[in-house]
Structure 1
Amino acid sequence: MYEPGTEQINCNGTFIALPSLEVVRSAPKMPSDANIDWLLHIYFTRREFTRCRRLIERELNRHLNPEYLYFVQGLIDREEGNHIEALRHLQKSVELNPRNIETYKEIGRTLYLMGRFNQALGVFREAEQRSSRPDHEIYHYLGELLYRAATTQGQKELANQQQAEARSYFELAVQSGRKQESYIRLAELYRKDKQYQQAIDVLETCLHLTPENSEVLIEISVLYLKINETQKAHDRLAEVVSIERKCSPKGLLAFGAILQSRNDVDGALSKYSQIAQAEPEIAELWNNIGLCFFKKQKFIVAISSLRKSVWLSPLNYNALYNLSLIYIAFCLRKLDDMENAFVALERASRMATGQQGGGRNPLVVLNFALFCYETGRLALATEQYNRFMSQAQDLLLPTEYKFQATKLKSLLRISNQGNGILLDSADLQQSDLGENRSKELLPDELPLEVNAVVSRN
């Protein structure tokens, strides 16, 4: 029967009295000198900043060692965007305990967020000196700050020194810790120095931390393309596709470059069209599209695509170079202006061999050799071929370039004798190269540089 004043529930027609909860004893009071750092840490990790502030305000008046209170107060201020107050409280904490490396690191991070990079670099250097053991966070931030300083440095020699020091710190960071950002930065510096295999090794190690990181997999595939390992690049991109239903534009660009290197022009264009629908403002995309159309002998579309690439990136060397080659191969030849074409290629060849301060580019020399052969300048073609071979002997070249060079060698009847490459002049004089020239090497067969760069600046 129901009794008034009691808590009961009706269970299948029967009233059941609920047991009452009685407090047997009151909660114990914390002594005034107790250490509550553990409680403060719990509140902070839960992001209960209001409770943290109340606790800090109460304990600052009676706490025997307020170092940790100021430390947490500084972190809360930084989380809320008040960097000046964060620095003030963190400075108080480090004054109370100068041996606490964690406080120095938090001061350095705060200065980094404020854009005071030189001051942050000084703080992390001091933290490195005070630290009694290797600290991967200190090494990583020193690498970041030195790399940033190198990119903004006006003096080239000093910038190279800072970049080398940054790389050494990133190497220490990956040796002493497992921070993904350190691996990525170190690989970036190796790639910048054109040490592609070292960059691949670093990123392969990074995959142990995050085996299904699609960005790292794509970067590895791009690096494999740099060393002409197209099959390995394809395998890594296949892993990306198995992880993600849709590949990123960078991955699609790499896929297209692989297909393009295998002369699957239509397959490459299908990948590029997917990128163009999502992100059309990529200079490398239109450069590669232009080369695909050039291979299909659609010259007007090729020129338009390359012009768009140049418009998106006016200082893009690859697009400008490829566009100039198409103009030379198409416009000047169709106008029968062979002399101007010869002058342009001769000047490019001189620049490519370093005679006018340019960098080494054996592809330009090979193009000039092919042009000289087509126009009957056999001796000059042989000279340029020999120059190409001397420049390319220690480089990894795409298969297409090797094919064109081998084809030219056979046409010129060049044989390897001793350590040099010599032309059999007697055979040349008796050959019928003039009759077969247009048949063997058409203007469209000039080996243009297919830019497989997929990174975006």
Structure 2
Amino acid sequence: MSTMVSIGKFDYLNEPQSDTFNPKIESDKEKRNWMIHMLYIRHDYVECLKVIEEQLQSCQGLCEYAIYVKALILRQKGKIQDSLSLFQATVMLNSNNPANLKQVGRSYFLLGRVSEAIECFDEAQKLSPEDWEIWFNKGLCFGSAKQYDVAEDCLIRSNSIQRHDATYIELGKIYIQQEKFREAIDIYIEALDYSPENSELLTTVGLLYLRVGDNFKAFEYLGNSLTHDPKNPKIPPDLIIQTILATGSIIQDHSENDVALSKYRIAAVHTPNSAQLWNNIGMCFFGKVNYVAAIACLKRALYLAPFEWIIAYNLGLVHLNTGQYASAFHYFSASINLKPDFASSYMYLAITLSRLDDFDNACTAYEKAIEMESDHMFELNYAITLYNHDDFDSARHHLLQFERLFSELDEEEREAEQNVLETRQRLSAALA
């Protein structure tokens, strides 16, 4: 069984291989290679470039290794086109070194010239057919070109030669782009068999389980990710925040607001200006019936992301619960303007309009919500509003619709809504 290696980038330092050998010329070419290598791996690029220039002057610009490292440095500075020219020069000096062709292909890929990149990797493959990195980069190229089947084959072949975290991650991305979420989960779990403490893999699996609606599994993997290394510098900060927010959201769903807030405190250190973070914090305070703090957090979230419909929707909920019906109407209307296809917004807008004694518009909003989605709560609240305005026949009709939809729920869902049953009994008795 081969061992999987975790890597972060693909700029390797390969010693050149020359077809002919002249002791004096080769000595001039290579006498500073050790120093160039040492300065490069120390990231002392300024001094490294000075030594490279001295080396190139002493050997009349024919030192393959010095040109190769200079090209790597220029690429890291964002000068992709300049680095490509230098890598092409290394190919001219030594066309039998596959590392040179790989870097030319990599530069073409970074410039978006995918077909030329694939041609370079094909040439490199003739020299080194069992090089996992060549297959990996071909997989990236075909994936970028949306040739997912070919990309999948290349990445699987790369893994068969030598397993790497990066290969598993890219293969999973290919499945995700095709919305094959279960296949992506399977490939990441296979990766975890070889690298069980990889926080990025754990986080990605957790987020995928969230996407397929398996919250229990999502919580397990996201929790493991945070346990292993909540501040892992190898994981992008946005992925850490995403992990914390996802974990906190699951905890919130189980009404553990204090535990969720403790998670969000960690996220606040990394991204104090995250609208999603402040939205979630606000809803934690809403769950704790601390409406003043909830409104303050949600308004901060709205300031950071004024076009996020969910924040306006949540502000509407809080103001509705505090009896500030004019403000609730304002926020529900804003939410509907930003996302007109969310049925619950119309139901809560209808409740708000009813509290503002605008019965006709409340009925219109209820009808719109029911037209968009069959939901037992829409029918029950509509029946209550109709009863409060003495329209008993229509109230009975919608109560019957509620009974039909409620009976279609499974037993667990019905048991979770005891307060709904109490409201139904009181309304049923009043209408009888």
User: TM over 0.5: same fold?
Assistant: yes
Match runs of 1:317-396 below 5 Å: 317-331=376-390, 358-362=415-419, 365=422
Displacement of 1:332 in angstroms is: 6.0
Give yes or no for the alignment of 1:80 onto 2:139: no
Question: Residue 273 in 1 paired to residue 333 in 2?
Answer: yes
Q: 1:300 to 1:238 in 2, by over 3 A?
A: closer
Instruction: Tell which deviates more after alignment, 58-67 or 85-94.
Output: 58-67
Counterparts of 1:60 and 1:254 in 2: how far apart (Å)?
Answer: 56
Find the partner of 1:57 among 122, 129, 150.
122
When you count helix as a share of all residues, which structure comes out higher?
A: 2
The farther-off stretch of 109-118 and 282-291 is 109-118
Give distance in 1, aligned partners of 2:428 and 2:180. 56
2:388 counterpart letter in structure 1: A
Aligned to 1:308: 368
SS in 1 for 2:311: helix
2:98–2:124 Cα contact (<8 Å) kept: no
Shift of 1:169: 0.5
Q: Residue in 2 aligned with 1:407?
A: none
> Which entry has the higher C-alpha Rg, 1 or 2?
1
Correspondent of 2:244 among 162, 183, 190: 183
Residue among 181, 186, 191 paired with 1:122: 186
Provide the C-alpha distance between the structure 2 equivalents of 1:273 and 1:163, rounded to a whole number of angstroms: 31
Matches within 5 A, 1:8-407: 25=60, 27-28=62-63, 29-30=93-94, 32-33=96-97, 35-36=99-100, 37=102, 40-63=105-128, 66-97=131-162, 99-131=163-195, 134-148=197-211, 151=213, 163-175=215-227, 176=229, 177=232, 178=237, 179=239, 180-244=241-305, 246-315=306-375, 317-331=376-390, 358-362=415-419, 365=422
Q: Percent identity?
A: 12
The 8 Å contact of residues 33 and 63 in structure 1, kept in 2 or not, is answered as no
Deviations 1:244-277 (A, max 9, x none): 5x34322222222232222222222233333444
Deviation of 1:297 after TM superposition, in Å, equals: 3.3
What RMSD over aligned residues (CA atoms) do the two structures have, in Å?
4.0
TM-score normalised to structure 1 length? 0.60
2:363 and 2:273 map into 1 onto residues whose CA distance is 39
| Deviations 1:14-35, CA, capped at 9 Å, x for gaps | xxxxxxxx9x945442373473
Cα separation, 1, equivalents of 2:286 and 2:390: 32
Displacement of 1:139 = 1.1
Which SS does the other structure have where 2:272 is aligned?
A: coil
CA distance in 2, matches of 1:243, 1:147: 25
Which residue number corresponds to residue 10 of structure 2? none
Closer/same/farther in 2, CA of residues 254 and 118 from structure 1, 3 Å limit: closer
Equivalent-residue separation in structure 1 for 2:369 and 2:334 (angstroms): 17
Change (3 A) 1:104 1:320: same
1:136, distance to aligned residue in structure 2 (A):
1.9
In the TM superposition, residue 279 of structure 1 has moved relative to its aligned partner by 4.0
Residues 77-130 of structure 1: per-residue CA shift (max 9 Å, x gap) = 111101111122222222222x43322332233233334444433322221111
Q: Secondary structure at the match of 1:263?
A: coil
Give 2:85's aligned residue: none
TM superposition shift of 1:194? 3.8
Deviation of the 1:184 alpha carbon: 3.4
Aligned residues: 327
Q: Which amino acid aligns with 2:327?
A: G
The 8 Å contact of residues 240 and 247 in structure 1, kept in 2 or not, is answered as no
Measure the CA separation in 2 of the matches of 1:295 and 1:70. 65
What's the CA shift string for 1:161-219, capped at 9, x where partnerless?
x5423311011223435513323332333344343443444344333333222233223
State the one-letter code of the partner of 2:389. Answer: F
Q: Secondary structure at the match of 1:61?
A: helix
**TM-score calculated relative to the size of structure 2:** 0.63
Higher relative contact order (CA 8 A, sep 6+): 1
CA contact (8 A) 1:33 1:64 kept: no
